[in-house]
Amino acid sequence: MKIFCIYILLLFAALSTLADGYGPFEDGQHPKPFPVFALTKVLQGDESVRYEHLEFIHLGETNVVLRLFCSTNESCGVNLVVGSDKHPVSVDIEGSIGRVVKVYAFEANLNGDGTNDYIIRTGTGGCGLAAYFSFMTFVLSSKTGYVAHCIFGYCDDPENLVDMDNDGKPEYIHTILVPGEPGADGRSHNYWVHNLISFSGTNIVSANSKDIRFPKWVWYTFKDNHKDTKQLTGEQKKRLWLRTWESEKDIYKKPMFINPELFADEQDKSTKSSNVRTGARH
């Protein structure tokens, strides 16, 4: 194998320590990880000078080219070129703290069509909770080319790609921090919210129906916590979920999640079918 094409089975340890112990699973309940190829080393933009990095990566019959551009006016971008026809997929990085952007690229068969798909992760830097900001771009194959979807989240990483029900198809555990409102104890709290997504053709769809534990709202307390909160009603969760994504849209001037409205009703688990699978437990 080429130096940039080392096959790795990503460990699931990151989710167990997600956001200082606020992942969706208790110890011993982590699902099976989904295998990916790590394609690149870190590509990092410089905060003081215009930066252009061009790295050619060769994998089997496929040529993969990843380019990162950054400048002092916070203008950043990534261009991914895949396949013998050099069909380009341009992905905008939605800004960064300190104008430093780190880019990682991974490969996996996400939508099951037998053609390689790609995951580009860009981090923003920063400190405190801002250090958890991340953008995951899923580049999905089709007969006519590739379609890219960029999603904002916290602690997002290819290590969150798992096989929840052992069917050989991946699900992705997406995490966002949602500011709360007065709940059962009359006080406002913040919540780590975990949802399952999956891949159908060139679309990203909900996979929450695969496991009754999702969506999962975990109260951000002062100690490790993995339990679904009882502080909020289903109606509150729906409202807070939509409010959070409207806020992100205002910041980035574009939607930063795939159809948040379609996920809103799912935040109220009281309406969820009782015959939903409980997921793989290991």
| Nearest in space to 25 (alpha carbons), one of 267, 227, 270 | 227
Whether residue 198 sits in one domain with residue 111: no
Residue 243, helix vs strand vs coil: helix
CA 274 to each of CA 24, 85, 97, 143, 255: distance values in angstroms, whole numbers, following the listed order: 20, 48, 44, 38, 32
Q: Give the number of other Cβ atoms within 10 Å of residue 281's Cβ.
A: 10
Does 241 map to a domain?
A: yes
Helix runs in the chain, H state only:
13-16, 234-252, 260-264
Q: What is the value of pTM for the model shown?
A: 0.82
Does 5 map to a domain?
A: no
Whether residue 167 sits in one domain with residue 157: no
Does 82 map to a domain?
A: yes
**Domain containing 259: what range?**
163-282
30 near 47, Cβ under 8 Å? Answer: no
State which of 162, 195, 217 marks the end of a domain: 162
Whether residue 125 sits in one domain with residue 74: yes
Whether residue 86 sits in one domain with residue 172: no
Burial of 130 (C-beta count, 10 Å sphere; 0-12/13-18/19+): exposed
Whether residue 94 sits in one domain with residue 40: yes
State which of 162, 197, 227 marks the end of a domain: 162
Does 17 map to a domain?
A: no
Q: What is the pLDDT of residue 15?
A: 39
Q: Which helix (H) or strand (E) segment is 104 a member of?
A: strand 102-108
Does 23 map to a domain?
A: no
Tens of pLDDT, residue by residue over 15-63, are 334 555 898 988 888 888 898 888 765 666 555 444 454 454 555 455 6
Residue 258 has pLDDT above 50, yes or no: yes
171 near 197, Cβ under 8 Å? Answer: yes
Does 63 map to a domain?
A: yes
Does 24 map to a domain?
A: no
Whether residue 266 sits in one domain with residue 179: yes
Domain count, the chain: 2
State which of 108, 135, 162 marks the end of a domain: 162
Whether residue 37 sits in one domain with residue 146: yes
Whether residue 170 sits in one domain with residue 150: no
Tens of pLDDT, residue by residue over 114-154, are 888 888 887 666 677 777 888 888 989 888 878 888 899 98
